[in-house]
Amino acid sequence: MSDVATQAGEILDRLGVADPFVGDGDLVARSPIDGSEIGRLRSHTPEEAAHAIGRAHAAFERWRTVPAPVRGQFVRELGELLREHKEDLGALVSIEAGKIVSEGLGEVQEMIDICDLAIGLSRQLHGLSIASERPGHRMMEQWHPLGVVGVISAFNFPVAVWSWNAALAFVCGDAVVWKPSEKTVLTALGCQALVLEAGRRAGVPDGLSAVLVGDRTVGEVLVDDPRVPLVSATGSTRMGRQIAPRVAARLGRTLLELGGNNAAVVAPSADLDLTVRGVVFSAVGTAGQRCTSLRRVIVHESVKDELVSRLAAAYATLPIGSPLEPSTLVGPLIDEAAFRAFDEALARARADGGELVTGGTRAAVDGGGFYVRPAIVDMPAQTEIVRAETFAPLLYVLTYGDLDEALALHNEVAQGLSSSIFTLDVREAETFLSVVGSDCGIANVNIGPSGAEIGGAFGGEKETGGGRESGSDAWRAYMRRATNTVNYSRELPLAQGVEFG
């Protein structure tokens, strides 16, 4: 057994996960740090998945009658357990997803933050009082629990995205059935152990939270089951195109967080010191494997040479290696398939006339794993490969002459998740944020496109799917709306002045 596997086993034990490994399991858990096998797990059968959904539905029928502030106490217990186990769960994220230490811990902090938000929300699930045109009538709307929420998550945020959904769903009165990525099952089991302990302390119904282990056949059960009124899915646009029509066919709801092809416009007035820091973090953090990673820099021709030179110098200093080392800033790609996609995208960019500025090769790191040197490619135009999302640290540089041209390049791609502009010109900044500016769900000024806070709604438009998670009024996706009219008069006037009899 490798050192990484031993460490993972010890962490799972401290999190309260009973030994999940079986010698003849069909699902292999590996660490991208060195490619080693951590253990083998047994996938759930479709029948077991359906049974878990049934238990969750039964739990929902009890949970929905619990007052929302009391439901908030359950999430409070979960938040406290996450604080207690932050170091362990963060380390498990690093071991299984390859995130550097600070990002693994940061992901758990996101979970804690959303629990805090949800606790407050449990006392603020507000409806509206609405003016009625009929005398002696009161009209209002209420928000009621929805049912079982299915969550399908990706490897790159193996625990935070689940928590964005689960914390809100729990206080809204819903049950949650989670299908994590096959690449990051252990972190899901760790979270489930903490949820079960929080549930024991708070006295929640059995089955309120469940984890389904397996491949897409298990996920398809969740997608197709009519007892799951909402499926929240995070992943590729290709995956979303498969899930959305299946859920729609049974008239269910989807909350989709799909691909991104995020850009930063760098204007002539940009503070280049700040810009370089923002670009580097957004482009190479998590080894470019965030949905909000910076893929394109659209830089004004007057500052292009200086910006590219400074970016190349910064890239040359990036420590690449095991994410468990505190000094590392760039960890591994998740697997060999990700490395091949990186390599193929670089080849296509070169074939399209792109000039490799720096990086683009495999980095020599002891112990195996797929580590690469983050690449910058100067492109003559926004070609097909630039418009595609490559889940790796690959940054394309495009040049513009005026802001209209920059916005046209920015909005030309099919995805619409996150965006940014670096400028000290208030007119440029406000134009970028206006209706004729960025067409993304997230638009930032003088920070990169990644690193969203819990308080704002997270999500994007176009092929990103249109879903919103986390803060603002994203909680409404997990509830159903009822409009109520109460007649407290002795008459029965009809709306719109209709007379009958």
Residue 266 sits in the same domain as residue 253: no
| 496 part of a folded domain | no
- Listed as own residue / partner, the contacts of 101-110 with beta carbons closer than 8 Å and 24 or more positions apart are 101/323, 101/324, 101/325, 101/326, 101/328, 103/285, 103/286, 103/323, 104/323, 107/157, 107/158, 107/159, 107/160, 108/82, 108/159, 108/160, 110/160, 110/163, 110/164, 110/454
Task: Choose, from 257, 428, 463, 469, the residue flagged as catalytic.
Answer: 257
Assess whether 357 and 404 both reside in one domain: yes
Residue 27 pairs with which residues in a beta bridge? Answer: 41
Q: Are 339 and 379 in a shared domain?
A: yes
- Mapped onto helix, strand or coil, the DSSP state of residue 155 is coil
Q: What is the largest CA-CA distance in the chain?
A: 87
- 209-211 and 469-470 beta bridge pairing: unpaired
How many beta carbons lie within 10 A of that of residue 111, not counting itself?
27
pLDDT of residue 2: 84
Q: Is 46 part of any domain? A: yes
Would residue 454 count as lying in a domain?
A: no
* Structural domain span for residue 300: 262-445
Kindly list the distances between the CA atom of residue 482 and the CA atoms of 31, 345, 485, in Å, as whole numbers in the listed order.
Answer: 47, 49, 10
Whether the full predicted model's pTM is greater than 0.85, yes or no, is: yes
257 is catalytic: yes
For residue 501, being part of any structural domain is answered with: no
**The CATH number of the domain where 332 resides is what?**
3.40.309.10
Answer whether residue 105 is part of any domain.
Answer: yes
Residues 233 and 321 in one domain: no
Q: What's residue 375's pLDDT?
A: 98
- Whether residues 139 and 114 fall in one domain: yes
Please tell me whether residues 250 and 268 are part of one structural domain.
no
For the chain, how big is the Rg over CA atoms in Å? 24
Position 184 in a domain:
yes
What confidence score (pLDDT) does residue 101 get?
A: 97
pLDDT tens track for 163-217: 999 999 999 999 999 999 999 999 999 999 999 999 999 999 999 999 999 999 9
Confirm whether 460 is domain-assigned: no
pLDDT, tens digit, 9 for 90 and up, residues 131-159: 999 999 999 999 999 999 999 999 999 99
Phi, psi of 496 (to 5 degrees): 60, 20
Residues 242 and 384 in one domain: no
| Residue 106, Cβ density class (10 Å: 0-12 exposed, 13-18 middle, ≥19 buried) | middle
Same-domain check for residues 469 and 429: no
Residue 457 lies in a domain: no
Which residue stretches of the chain have pLDDT < 70?
A: 1
What six digits make up the tokens of 402? 């005026």
H helix count then E strand count, the chain: 15, 21
Strand partners, 232: 151, 255
* 231 and 353 share one domain: no
- Count of domains for the chain: 2
Question: Can you tell me the distance from the alpha carbon of 216 to that of 312, in angstroms, rounded to the nearest whole number?
Answer: 40
pLDDT at 367: 82
Sequence-separated (6 or more) residues with CB below 8 Å from residue 329: 100, 284, 318, 319, 320
68 & 174 share domain: yes
- Residue 366 has what pLDDT? 85
Same domain assignment for residues 68 and 12: yes
**CATH number of the domain where residue 130 is located:** 3.40.605.10
- Asked whether residue 224 falls in the same domain as residue 306, the answer is no
- Determine the residue type at 84: E
Burial of 223 (0-12, 13-18, 19+ CB in 10 A): buried
